[in-house]
Structure 1
Amino acid sequence: MTEPRFDVLAIGNAIVDVIASCDDGFLAEHALDKGAMRLVDTAEAEALYANMGPGKEVSGGSAGNTCAGLAALGSRCAFIGQVANDQLGHVFAHDIRAAGIHYAVLPREGEPPTARCLVLVTPDGQRTMNTFLGASQFLSAASIDPALVADAKVLYLEGYLWDPDGPRTAMQGAIECAREAGREVAFTLSDAFLLDRHGDDFRAMIEAGEIDILFANEGEALALTGTDDIEKAIGWLAPKLPVLVVTRSEKGALAIRGDERVEVPAEPVAQVIDTTGAGDSFAAGFLHGYVQGKSLEESLTLGAVAAAEVIGHYGARPEADLAQLARERLG
């Protein structure tokens, strides 16, 4: 088999994170609950964006964050996600390419505009998040290039994007392309709330052998298997998957591959500032180790290192040199 050009190809919501400072008065003026996370429509997203003060705009989204972590560790990555042909769409494309990630999806003309997560940070450090999914929900099957899928060792799919019909069809097509090319498929469940709507789909994919690496946190694993006992959940999932990875917050993480089970503790963190993106970064660390042929223990450790870095500051992207942190940790 030809050596692929990329280590990981990720498909997910193409979202621009817009982070700006504000005071409590701004939140009150716009009837925003401090510290809350909510979805907003086009009109509110545009109005709030227009009224926000100067801020930082960076490409985001769960799978996009994982790509950023992978690239920072030295992996070769590509990303598929839909933006609109507007200012924030250009910001997203420039930012993700500047991180060394291959991105070639054509912007979408017309409405809705590019997805954005408007993050308002008050002086007390509270983050009030307003997410507009916009154009990211209109990723089409035509955006999936079979040659690109075949040119990556691992296809990584974001569960969040399973909600809308178009992107779901696109990801199903990408799975077929990966299978035909003999590549591996990794899937992250993203959030337990998705299991209410799509649990049957995810369980069917697992039973059909369409997923090679499943990422789940403890709550997602319990919701997927319908139990309140994590060992029972693991016992149901592990025999059906080539690789199962379960994160357990401060209790660390575990991975199972066949008869091999490995657990690692969480990495020490001086102060937990913001857990946004911790799971995305963990997946980046693990996948980086995995595609490099490292052991499960080393791959889990890299995941823990990447997660610890991102929760030590605001924002879902690494700020420290992840590659250096990895070298220091593994030697």
Structure 2
Amino acid sequence: MNNKRRDMDNKRANMNNKRVIIAGLINVETTVKVHGFPIPYFPIDFTTDGISTGISGVGYNLARAFQKLGDQVAILSYTGEDEEGHRIEHELGKHGIDTKGIKKELKKTPQSLILYDLDGRRQCYCDLKDIQEHTYQVEDIIEEFAQADLLCACNINFSRPLLQEAKKRNICIATDVHVIGDIEDEYNKEFMEAADILFLSDENISDSKEEFMIRLKNRYSCKIIIMGLGKEGALLYSRENDELIRIGAVTTRNVINTVGAGDSLFSSFLHCYIKGMSAIDSLKYAITFASYKIGDNGGAVGFLTEEELFSLSKQLTYDIKGVKVDYETSKENCSNT
């Protein structure tokens, strides 16, 4: 009986301690509260607690979210050997995130500026500096790959060489291509071809979002495709069940700033899914996680723990619907893989 209980405890421990490699941008982010969009010209404005600066970027946002949920994180990125780079290193260390995967080879550390209004809408300006000219070498991270359950390959140039290495090692690859309007998007095609789990936003899709999802699944071999719909929730395609599901958004607290909402949806879905939960349950939890996160200001704050997430989800009702799409129409101009 004791041996059986010990085996069960070991299984739980293994489930709860997933190892995630994140290859993505880390930058210094300044957020500025504005009265609304579009912004009229005026020479000066005064605010109280309307401007703040902190560490963000997709890579950092994901690392902090995974860590808060209880996963082990290895982060790969680039910074400069400057004041901003040192600030990032200090912040990572403060949160117990290993910095050995951070290369200080940029001329300057990337920065971003986020304008947001009272409705939570945001406008982002991102200065990547020279990061797109750098490439991460696989041989530098063999140890991390040997222990990984998941590679989160953000759609930034330096993570491209990691895709094939993860494929060779049969490591699950997840990527978020963010805003695209064409399934043959040249910049993101390599990421979409490699991804087992693909995320994207609906923000640049002018035609039917459901048909766009079907064209994606016909063109690429991803097992899971999820499209964030903002305040409308999310669409989920599962190749295992060959079905398209829409899950509506939920409200957990007032919206402050929607920056980082997609990163929180992405990370929390992956956290649940790699632990063995179904795609639908994982997305329910992810929608809850993202809803709570946007009640705070900044891309890397406002995260729930796993226990808090599960507890909050029990109090909510979810609107889950199957979506019917004319598959034959959606196959036009697509090639199956």
TM-score (norm 2): 0.72
SS in 2 for 1:292: coil
CA apart distance, 1:191: 2.1
CA apart distance, 1:112: 2.4
**AA in 2 matched with 1:216:** L
CA apart distance, 1:152: 1.6
CA apart distance, 1:74: 1.1
SS in 2 for 1:200: coil
Matched, 1:192 2:180: yes
**AA in 2 matched with 1:97:** G
C-alpha separation between the residues in 2 aligned to 1:22 and 1:247?
Answer: 25
Matched, 1:213 2:171: no
Q: How does 1:1-331 map to 2 (within 5 A)?
A: 7-19=19-31, 56-108=52-104, 112-118=107-113, 130-142=125-137, 144-159=140-155, 161=156, 168=157, 170-192=158-180, 199-200=185-186, 202-203=188-189, 206=192, 209-219=193-203, 222=205, 228-239=207-218, 240-260=221-241, 261=243, 262-319=245-302, 321-330=304-313
Contact kept? 2:137, 2:161, Cα under 8 Å: no
**Aligned alpha-carbon RMSD (Å):** 3.6
Q: Which segment is superposed worse, 276-285 or 97-106? A: 97-106
CA apart distance, 1:275: 1.0
Structure number with higher helix proportion = 1
Unaligned runs of 5+ in 2: 1-13, 36-40, 315-337
Aligned residues: 288
SS in 2 for 1:134: coil
C-alpha separation between the residues in 2 aligned to 1:232 and 1:177?
Answer: 32
SS in 2 for 1:287: helix
**AA in 1 matched with 2:196:** D
Unaligned runs of 5+ in 1: 35-52, 162-167
**AA in 1 matched with 2:173:** V
**AA in 2 matched with 1:284:** S
CA apart distance, 1:12: 1.4
C-alpha separation between the residues in 1 aligned to 2:270 and 2:171?
Answer: 14
Q: 1:183 to 1:248 in 2, by over 3 A?
A: same
C-alpha separation between the residues in 2 aligned to 1:210 and 1:274?
Answer: 32
C-alpha separation between the residues in 1 aligned to 2:83 and 2:58?
Answer: 21
C-alpha separation between the residues in 1 aligned to 2:119 and 2:186?
Answer: 42
CA apart distance, 1:200: 3.0
Contact kept? 2:81, 2:107, Cα under 8 Å: no
- For each residue in 1:219-276, what CA deviation from the matched residue of structure 2 results, as whole angstroms up to 9, or x when unmatched? 45x4xxxx71222212222353211112111221132222434432212144322111
**AA in 1 matched with 2:151:** L
Q: 1:106 to 1:273 in 2, by over 3 A?
A: closer
C-alpha separation between the residues in 1 aligned to 2:287 and 2:259?
Answer: 14
TM-score (norm 1): 0.73
Contact kept? 1:158, 1:190, Cα under 8 Å: no
**AA in 2 matched with 1:230:** K
